Amino acid sequence: MKALLLENIHPAAVETLESRGYEVELRTGSLSEDELIAALAGGVQLLGIRSNTTVTKRVLDESPDLLAIGCFCIGTNQVDLVAAAEKGIGVFNAPYSNTRSVVELVIAELIALARRLPEKTQRMHEGTWDKSAKGSHEVRGRTLGIVGYGNIGTQLSTVAEALGLNVVFYDTADRPAHGTARRMRSLKDLLAVADVVSLHVDGRPGNAGFFGAAEFAAMKPRALFLNASRGMVVDYEALRDNLISGHIAGAAVDVFPAEPKAQGDAFDSVLRGLDNVILTPHIGGSTQEAQEEIGWFVAEKLARFALEGSTALSVNLPAVLPPELPSGRRIGLLHRNLPGVLAELNATFATAGDNVVDQHLATKDGLGYVVTDAAAPLSAEAIDTLSKAEYCMWVRTW
């Protein structure tokens, strides 16, 4: 069993896969399409990448041994997910592993802006001693408005409350309040009371440009603004105007509509050069702790898919989390989602005399996945019949 991990993935992934019996090859850089096809040719079942490796349909077509791809990051758009699903190749990522890292950066920035640290440190480096308390505030007792109360928004809510901030939030979905946070009925209501507004919405297309001139105008005078969610959700020209006019007292921005691709590339933004503005290169989730967490989390998902049939948290296959592995008595069938497959599957078991003791089915985007545990090792007859069925994409046994 072979795994290939590219792009300097954390050693925690190597340890996890080796402990499950995999022979792991670890490479530091990414590979081109041709190089990747060559590297996968020697029977590699599991591929680990980060954001710089593109897995095209051609790579998938020419890598018949590949079972699963782990994106050791949040995004998965570097993989042709449709082609992978069509081949029954599971794709996994780490959607929650850097939540805490983002929250800690936001908290640090919030305090830094309230104390006007970007300007203070800049003046010191320029050789000017400016000890004034003008415009510097504690965050205790201030109201933090969180827009988007998902994984990151809710954890920010808890940590901010521990610092003595009052938390209000707005989310388009129904989200329960954590601690003493108050849910606001509209974005406008939130903007009317928040001393600090922090965006944590997702990147759905409808969110493009959703925070612009009207929203900045609706914020309290001298409020602070933070965005560590997606660059495209904010009109940064409007933010710049409001920072220059002084309506917004400071801002921290980690994400941009167009971000440089490689380390050391030039960066430009209308926000460059403004006082009390923290600009960071999309590092909200970039910590050693998050990398380690991503390493074992994704490696574990890959191993459980390959060795136990679990598709839990797969981004492109129906999600089934079967119970503890009963060795030699489990069968997984990935199939086209057509009427009658489950009935036919169970009739096949019954005909072969296999007694089903546990069964889990999930469907997604035209695919169905069913994991069945039997009372005794499954008969070769049933496995053969199922693998020849026209709806079958693959059959695996564990």
Give the three-class secondary structure for 336. Answer: strand
Nearest-5° angle of CA 255, CA 260, CA 263? Answer: 110
Residue type, 343: A
Asked if 4 interacts with ligand NAD (CB under 6 A), we say: no
Comparison of 231 and 326: residue with beta carbon closer to ligand NAD: 231
Least separation in angstroms between residue 232's CB and ligand NAD is 10
CA atoms 267, 273, 274, 280: torsion sign = positive
Q: Among residues 72, 149, 216, 349, which is the contact residue for ligand NAD, using CB under 6 A? A: 149
Q: Which two tokens stand for residue 386?
A: 């199922």
Distance between CA atoms of 359 and 370, rounded to whole angstroms?
A: 7
What is the number of the residue whose Cβ is closest to ligand NAD? 150
Give the three-class secondary structure for 17. Answer: helix
Distance between CA atoms of 225 and 279, rounded to whole angstroms?
A: 12
Asked if 183 interacts with ligand NAD (CB under 6 A), we say: no
Comparison of 198 and 372: residue with beta carbon closer to ligand NAD: 198
Least separation in angstroms between residue 226's CB and ligand NAD is 10
Distance between CA atoms of 5 and 28, rounded to whole angstroms?
A: 8
For residues 182 and 211, is the Cβ–Cβ distance under 8 A? no
Distance between CA atoms of 84 and 81, rounded to whole angstroms?
A: 5
Distance between CA atoms of 218 and 227, rounded to whole angstroms?
A: 17
Q: How many chain residues interact with ligand NAD (CB under 6 A)? A: 29
Task: Tell me, yes or no, if 27 is annotated catalytic.
Answer: no
Residues 358-397, interacting with ligand NAD (CB under 6 A) = none
Any idea what DSSP says for residue 220? P
Comparison of 40 and 146: residue with beta carbon closer to ligand NAD: 146
Q: Among residues 6, 13, 40, 102, which is the contact residue for ligand NAD, using CB under 6 A? A: 102
Q: Which two tokens stand for residue 274?
A: 């403004």
Asked if 201 interacts with ligand NAD (CB under 6 A), we say: yes
Q: Among residues 83, 210, 391, 392, which is the contact residue for ligand NAD, using CB under 6 A? A: 210
Asked if 70 interacts with ligand NAD (CB under 6 A), we say: no
Asked if 45 interacts with ligand NAD (CB under 6 A), we say: no
Distance between CA atoms of 290 and 9, rounded to whole angstroms?
A: 12
Which residue out of 138, 259, 289, 381 is catalytically annotated? 259
Comparison of 198 and 316: residue with beta carbon closer to ligand NAD: 198
Residues 235-294, interacting with ligand NAD (CB under 6 A) = 254-255, 282, 284-285
Comparison of 145 and 332: residue with beta carbon closer to ligand NAD: 145
Q: Among residues 77, 126, 133, 173, which is the contact residue for ligand NAD, using CB under 6 A? A: 173
CA atoms within 13 A on the CB side of 354: 25
Residues 151-170, interacting with ligand NAD (CB under 6 A) = 151-153, 170
Any idea what DSSP says for residue 379? P
Comparison of 58 and 175: residue with beta carbon closer to ligand NAD: 175
Q: Among residues 7, 109, 119, 171, which is the contact residue for ligand NAD, using CB under 6 A? A: 171
- Alpha-carbon dihedral angle through residues 272, 276, 282, 285, given to the nearest 10 degrees: 170
Least separation in angstroms between residue 51's CB and ligand NAD is 12
Task: Tell me, yes or no, if 282 is annotated catalytic.
Answer: yes
Q: Which two tokens stand for residue 83?
A: 């082609």
Task: Tell me, yes or no, if 259 is annotated catalytic.
Answer: yes
CA 318: distance to chain centroid? Answer: 18
Distance between CA atoms of 55 and 369, rounded to whole angstroms?
A: 23
Residue type, 302: L
Residues belonging to the active site = 230, 259, 282
Residues interacting with ligand NAD, by CB under 6 A?
74, 98, 102, 147-153, 170-173, 175, 200-203, 207, 210, 228-230, 254-255, 282, 284-285
